Amino acid sequence: MNLKDLKLIYQENRKEIKNRDEIVKELRDILGEKCVSTNNIDILAYTRDSSLISLNWTIEGKIAGLPEIITWPKDEEAIIKVLEIANREKIPIVPFAEGSGVVGGAIPIQGGIILDLKNLDEIIEINEKNLTVTTQTGVNGMNLERYLNAKGYTCGHIPQSLYTSSVGGWIAHKAAGQFSTKYGKIEDIVLGMRIILPEGDKITFEPIARAATGPQLDKYFIGGEGTLGIVTKATLKIWPYPEKRNLISYAFPTMKDSLEAVRETLRENVYPAVVRIYDADETARHFEHVEKAKDKVMTVFVCEGNQKLVDLEDEITRKMCLKNSGIDCGEDPVEHWFETRFKVTETSMFPPYRIVADTIEVSVMWDNAVDLYHNVVETVKQVKGNLLITAHVSHFYPNGVGFYFTFGGVPGKGMTEFDFYKSCWNATIKAVIHSGGSIAHHHGIGINRSHFMEEEWNKGYDVMKKFKNVLDPNNILNPGKIYEKTWKNQGGNE
Amino acid sequence: MGIFDNIEKYSWMGPLIKNADRDVRRRLLKNLRKKKDRFYPEGEYKADIKNLINCMLCPNMCRFDCGTLQASDKETIGPAYKARIGYYLSVGKIDPNDPENKEFVDLIYKCSNEETCKIWCPFEFSVVSLLETVRDDLNDQGLMPEYCKKQIEKLNQTSTIEDHNIFKTYEDKGIENIETKGDDEVFYYVGCEMMKFPEVVKANIEILKKAGVKFSTNLDQKVCCGAPALNIRDFETVNQLANKNKELIEKTGAKLVVSDCPGCVNSLTNKYQKAGIDISIDVIHIVEYFEKLFEEGKIKIQNNIPGEYKTLTIHDPCLLARNLGNTTTIRNILGKIPGLEIRDPIYNKEYTHCCGWSGTVHWADTEISVKEAQNRIEELKETGAKNIVTACPTCELGLSYGIAEEEKDNVKIIDLSILISKAI
Ligand SMILES: Cc1cc2nc3c(=O)[nH]c(=O)nc-3n(C[C@H](O)[C@H](O)[C@H](O)COP(=O)(O)OP(=O)(O)OC[C@H]3O[C@@H](n4cnc5c(N)ncnc54)[C@H](O)[C@@H]3O)c2cc1C
């Protein structure tokens, strides 16, 4: 089969490697025969990430990006050598871990070389005194968590994609887990990193408790999305596996009431590990069986850790829920959430009906939270072809929250699936900016949001581009993401 | 609206569709009508298209526990990608007849059948169950890969998985053959693979004798259960072997068949049943039978186990733990032997990991199988125990490929029967 016969979405962005055969030979000499491939079967495996529009393309036999060479480096030295060649030949390099990213981050939109990091999957050590685990970053999240659990610990970072994502991907996209209200986002969890810069230099940020050693350079690389370097090793915080877990759920008359209950709980310095508020539509979708929650806003809490503290958190959480008109729905809805939280079936359900759907997560300070919710819902409803726009709130901070919107619909007349998808995305992000929110909470920028970066960062965006240029003067690392308005300037055609 | 009404899970979509504007509803209805035209193959096919689609569009929620993916560390070997290729081959987006596409056909066989994926699957199927339906279509088109044909040839020529009839080697190996007189209590059904471990077969015979069981082994008449052909999906060969097995089993007069290979037990029970072949006599794993003999007091622990075997780790065979659903027998029996220290690996019981040698991957891509075996050995070694106890000849073979040459003296794989025979 000729892969070029498949419809390539980001066709106009692609650059062919001129002297491919020589490059392949050189790579094989360095990495070994089996660690380099140009076979169709391997190339096709790296033509998409998990952004939901990719799934509509997959069933239609279309591909998002088309890399030319796949590499599987076994160690840091191999990565450095690949980068050397790429710099010399100006070939795009796309770091690829588990491919669960949902904003196009790992899509090789300019072609080039895929650097699959799965071989870097050694869990190096647990330090029980410091409460840290040091690991290579290609390790799968669930395999790390299972290992920690077996030793009596947890990382507390449990994204819904735990089974299908890596530590490197979490750091790249500034991920957040379902238990983030207690344990924090990945930027709160990472204590140390080793990074190979685009030109091949290695830098190591040793784990530190806290420091006053000038600007916090290490944090700049969290959220780098494979554009600033390859993160090869990380030290993460861990916690003893919680001795107690209390499950609490309340149904509220409105989103506003529920948000108030959570805000007031957090003001008491009480942090349930899990807090999730589902708007009325999502309550109907996930908790249809809970009679007391009918037409209401379901909110689930999990308090966990030290027994005595958990009981106290439980008491305060309940008090705030009752104060804000919450109706106690018992443990059952939380148990239901535990049972179903990894059962993702909708992604498979929609594409055969040509329904286009996606999720968009954003953040906002408390004072704009309710408005942002209503603005996004009202705006996206207006997009031609829209079928649904719903939300839940799943990450909470003393000063604000992370919203998670889900949209779906069928493209209107004359619209491609991709047109509809972009319209919904753009409408959501514009409404978020208009409501004083921030455009991404934990999925990152990738392709989907890069054209809004200027509005998000203003002059800061220029500084960001300058940093990128200093670190990666040949723009080889994951080009077309974050710093370039790919959707706006270069399209991506269906 | 119809499309989601019959699926309770998606009933929440009902009101949304009802409230959508007319144009959206019209388009949805059209998409519903056209789904099959657009996304299903034309003509006759056996592939499970619906679930291949479900699997290929899933965010790969089982990938972390897919032994072949973890062994290869390549996106190419990911479960959802295998389903995607299966789907493309089925709908003709990739032409399986084009020799250039052989690598795509081969992928359909790169599975070790361990079915850990099923534990995590939101749809509750295993990927191999889908790949098998693609293999059915490939077979119908005469596209069975050469390495599979070779296995089928061996099965047809020797009735075993070897290029000679491995059962006939019993004399050379010092295994006693007991032919049936038609009035057996038990038929000890030796697996082809177990013939490579004659000490285990001898131990099993010794235990059965000590328990006073009337049994036969019928090695002169014995044939393979057909497991390889079941995996390759050559039902002509399966049926031939199944008929011979049925005949032999019935001829023994036994009320119970006990096998030293969980693969054979799985074939003779679950797989035969799915293929429409009925063996009406109960078939169980021999260690399950030994557990019963212990309970009935027909065998008793009498001896101390030599010191070298004191610290043990257990490798649960996937076929016993997951397919046959037994995670207790090995532990119960070891629990009867005094002085043993048993250290479970992180992945144990129904969460056990594969030895690499099951399914079809070891023919399609031996390197992946060896790496899978090495990965499992690492997990078992992490317990600090040097002795690995298991109860499956395929695992014993597979795991042995995972032990580095210089470690062969330090890491020992022991069949549970050997320990029992030493202890009673
Ligand atoms: C069903 C589903 C549920 C999800 N739930 C969540 C959730 O709850 N929380 C959440 O935060 N996200 C979630 N996501 C999104 C996704 O899992 C995350 O973005 C994840 O962090 C990506 O990890 P990955 O290993 O799959 O990375 P990939 O998709 O392979 O790569 C993502 C980006 O990271 C870069 N990259 C990968 N590894 C490295 C490295 N070592 N060094 C430098 N760059 C690297 C790549 O170049 C790419 O730009 C979900 C996705 C799906 C499909």
Same domain for B170 and B280, yes or no, is yes
Least confident of B17-26, B187-196, B278-287: B17-26
Same domain for A225 and A263, yes or no, is no
Domain range for B250 is 166-295
**Nearest-angstrom CA–CA distance, B271 and A127:** 48
Which CATH number do you get for residue A146?
A: 3.30.465.10
B215 strand-pairing partners: B186
Q: At what angle do helices B146-158 and B235-252 cross, to 10 degrees?
A: 30
Report how far Cα B300 is from the mean position of its chain's Cα atoms: 31
Whether A352 and A59 have beta carbons less than 8 Å apart is answered as yes
In the block, tokens 């056996």 appear at B46
Whether A69 and A19 have beta carbons less than 8 Å apart is answered as no
Residue A306 counted as domain residue: yes
Q: Calculate mean pLDDT across residues A315-322.
A: 98
Q: How confident is the model at residue B4 (pLDDT cuts 50, 70, 90)?
A: very low
- Spatial CA neighbour of A303 closest among A278, A327, A321, A284: A321
How does DSSP assign B247-289, residue by residue? HHHHHHT-SEEEES-HHHHHIIIIIHHHTT----SEEEEHHHH
Which CATH number do you get for residue A61?
A: 3.30.43.10
What percent of chain B stands above pLDDT 90? 92
**Nearest-angstrom CA–CA distance, A175 and A190:** 11
Residue A248: count of CB within 10 angstroms of its CB: 24
Same domain for B107 and B64, yes or no, is yes
In this complex, the residue of A39, A58, A349 whose CB is nearest that of residue B10 is: A349
Q: Calculate mean pLDDT across residues A330-334.
A: 98
- Spatial CA neighbour of A343 closest among A119, A156, A160: A160
Q: How confident is the model at residue A493 (pLDDT cuts 50, 70, 90)?
A: low
Domain range for A73 is 3-116
Least confident of A171-185, B6-20, B74-88: B6-20
B367, pLDDT greater than 90: yes
In the block, tokens 């000729």 appear at A2
Three-state secondary structure call for residue B190: coil
A223 lines ligand 1 (CB under 6 A): no
Residue A470 counted as domain residue: no
Same domain for A29 and A62, yes or no, is yes
Same domain for A7 and A106, yes or no, is yes
Mutate one of B18, B27, B84, B88 to test the A interface: name it (highest A CB count within 10 A).
B27
pLDDT tens digit string along A157-172? 999 999 999 999 999 9
**Nearest-angstrom CA–CA distance, A222 and A216:** 11
Residues of A in contact with B35 (CB under 8 A): 352-353
CA distance A357 to chain B (A): 13
- Spatial CA neighbour of A83 closest among A255, A240, A226: A226
Same domain for A305 and A369, yes or no, is no
Torsion of CA B289, B294, B297, B301, to 10 degrees: 140
Q: Do B64 and A163 touch (CB under 8 A)?
A: yes
Residue A463: count of CB within 10 angstroms of its CB: 11
Q: Convert chain A into a string of H (helix), E (strand) and C (coil).
A: CCHHHCCECCHHHCCCCCCHHHHHHHHHHHHCHHHEECCHHHHHHCCCCCCHHHHHHHHHCCECCCCCEEECCCCHHHHHHHHHHHHHHCCCEEEECCCCCCCCCCCCCCCCEEEECCCCCCEEEEECCCCEEEEECCCEHHHHHHHHHHCCEECCCCCCCHHHCEHHHHHHHCCCCCCHHHHCCHHHHEEEEEEECCCCCEEEECCCCCCCCCCCHHHHHCCCCCCCCEEEEEEEECEECCCEEEEEEEEECCHHHHHHHHHHHHHCCCCCCEEEEECHHHHHHHCCCCHHHCCCEEEEEEEEECHHHHHHHHHHHHHHHHHCCCEECCCHHHHHHHHHCCCCCHHHHCHHHCCEEEEEEEEEEHHHHHHHHHHHHHHHHCCCCEEEEEEEEEEEECCEEEEEEEEEECCCCCCCHHHHHHHHHHHHHHHHHHCCCECCCCCCCCCCCHHHHHHHHCHHHHHHHHHHHHHCCCCCECCCCCCCCHHHHHCCCC
Q: Calculate mean pLDDT across residues B385-395.
A: 97
Whether A162 and A140 have beta carbons less than 8 Å apart is answered as no
Residues of A in contact with B344 (CB under 8 A): none
Out of A100, A116, A132, pick the residue that ends a domain: A116
Same domain for A313 and A416, yes or no, is no
**Nearest-angstrom CA–CA distance, B161 and B241:** 12
Which CATH number do you get for residue A252?
A: 3.30.70.3450
Residue B150 counted as domain residue: no
What domain count does chain A have?
4
Out of B295, B329, B361, pick the residue that ends a domain: B295
Q: Between residues A403 and A13, which one has the greater pLDDT? A: A403
pLDDT tens digit string along A98-107? 999 999 999 9
- pLDDT given at position B146: 98
- pLDDT given at position B1: 39
Q: How confident is the model at residue B2 (pLDDT cuts 50, 70, 90)?
A: very low
Ligand 1 atom closest to the Cα of residue A168 is 41
B129, pLDDT greater than 60: yes
Q: Do A410 and B28 touch (CB under 8 A)?
A: yes
Q: How many CA within 13 A on the CB side of residue A207? A: 18
Same domain for A217 and A189, yes or no, is yes
Report CA(A335)–ligand 1 centroid distance (Å): 27
Residues contacting A96, CB < 8 A, separation 6+: A46, A106, A114, A115, A116, A117, B75
Ligand 1 atom closest to the Cα of residue A444 is 19
Give CB contacts under 8 A, 24+ apart, made by B276-281.
B277/B238, B277/B239, B277/B242, B277/B246, B279/B245, B279/B246, B279/B249, B281/B249, B281/B250, B281/B254, B281/B255, B281/B256, B281/B257
Same domain for A34 and A137, yes or no, is no
Q: Do B12 and A288 touch (CB under 8 A)?
A: yes
B8, pLDDT greater than 90: no
Whether B377 and B403 have beta carbons less than 8 Å apart is answered as yes
Same domain for B172 and B268, yes or no, is yes
Residue B2 counted as domain residue: no
Residue B14 counted as domain residue: no
- Pick left, alpha or beta for residue B299 (phi over 0 → left; psi -120 to 50 → alpha; otherwise beta): beta
**Nearest-angstrom CA–CA distance, A362 and B366:** 47
Q: How many CA within 13 A on the CB side of residue A40? A: 16
pLDDT tens digit string along A394-427? 999 999 999 999 999 999 888 999 999 999 999 9
Out of A97, A116, A135, pick the residue that ends a domain: A116
A330, pLDDT greater than 50: yes
A234 lines ligand 1 (CB under 6 A): no
Residue A454 counted as domain residue: no
A180 lines ligand 1 (CB under 6 A): no
Same domain for B238 and B344, yes or no, is no
Whether B151 and B161 have beta carbons less than 8 Å apart is answered as yes
Least confident of A6-15, B282-291, B378-387: A6-15
Indicate the average pLDDT of chain B. Answer: 95
- Spatial CA neighbour of B367 closest among B9, B28, B73, B165: B73
Residue A453 counted as domain residue: no
Same domain for A401 and A423, yes or no, is yes
- pLDDT given at position B9: 57
Whether B89 and B97 have beta carbons less than 8 Å apart is answered as no
Torsion of CA A408, A413, A418, A423, to 10 degrees: -60
Whether B260 and B198 have beta carbons less than 8 Å apart is answered as no
Q: Calculate mean pLDDT across residues A206-234.
A: 96
Q: Calculate mean pLDDT across residues A293-315.
A: 97
* DSSP class of B42: S
Q: How confident is the model at residue A488 (pLDDT cuts 50, 70, 90)?
A: confident
Q: Between residues A487 and B315, which one has the greater pLDDT? A: B315
- Spatial CA neighbour of A20 closest among A9, A31, A28: A28
CA distance A398 to chain B (A): 32
Which CATH number do you get for residue B59?
A: 1.10.1060
**Nearest-angstrom CA–CA distance, A398 and A267:** 6
Q: Are strands B341-342 and B311-314 parallel, antiparallel or unpaired?
A: parallel
Q: How many CA within 13 A on the CB side of residue A326? A: 28
This prediction's pTM:
0.96
Q: Calculate mean pLDDT across residues B391-395.
A: 98
Q: How confident is the model at residue A490 (pLDDT cuts 50, 70, 90)?
A: low
Out of A340, A356, A371, pick the residue that ends a domain: A340
Structure token digits, residue B22: 């007319």
Residue A492 counted as domain residue: no
Residue B18 counted as domain residue: no
- Spatial CA neighbour of B257 closest among B323, B325, B200, B189: B189
Q: Calculate mean pLDDT across residues B208-230.
A: 97
Name the residue of A173, A230, A350, A360 whose CB sits within 8 Å of the most ligand 1 atoms, as the mutation to test its pocket. A173
A99 lines ligand 1 (CB under 6 A): yes
- pLDDT given at position A494: 62
What domain count does chain B have?
3
Q: Calculate mean pLDDT across residues B69-97.
A: 98
Ligand 1 atom closest to the Cα of residue A232 is 41
Residues A348-377: b if buried by 16+ CB within 10 A, e if exposed: bbbbbbbbbbbbbbbbbebebbbebbebbb
Chain A residue with minimum CA distance to B346: A150
pLDDT tens digit string along B307-356? 899 999 999 999 999 999 999 999 999 999 999 999 999 999 999 999 99
What percent of chain A stands above pLDDT 90? 96
Which CATH number do you get for residue B196?
A: 3.40.50
**Nearest-angstrom CA–CA distance, A206 and B240:** 65
Phi, psi of A215 (to 5 degrees): -60, 155
Same domain for B223 and B134, yes or no, is no
Whether A261 and A321 have beta carbons less than 8 Å apart is answered as yes
- Pick left, alpha or beta for residue A226 (phi over 0 → left; psi -120 to 50 → alpha; otherwise beta): left
pLDDT tens digit string along A54-99? 999 999 999 999 999 999 999 999 999 999 999 999 999 999 999 9
Residue B360 counted as domain residue: yes
Same domain for A19 and A107, yes or no, is yes
Residue A356 counted as domain residue: yes
pLDDT tens digit string along A272-288? 999 999 999 999 999 99
Residue B102 counted as domain residue: yes
Residue B337 counted as domain residue: yes
In this complex, the residue of B12, B54, B59 whose CB is nearest that of residue A161 is: B59
**Nearest-angstrom CA–CA distance, A410 and B22:** 12
Q: Calculate mean pLDDT across residues B253-281.
A: 95
Same domain for A59 and A101, yes or no, is yes
Which CATH number do you get for residue A376?
A: 3.30.300.330
Same domain for A96 and A112, yes or no, is yes
Which CATH number do you get for residue B365?
A: 3.40.50.1860
- pLDDT given at position A71: 98
Same domain for A202 and A283, yes or no, is no
Residues of A in contact with B58 (CB under 8 A): 344-345, 347-348
- pLDDT given at position B5: 43
Residue B201 counted as domain residue: yes
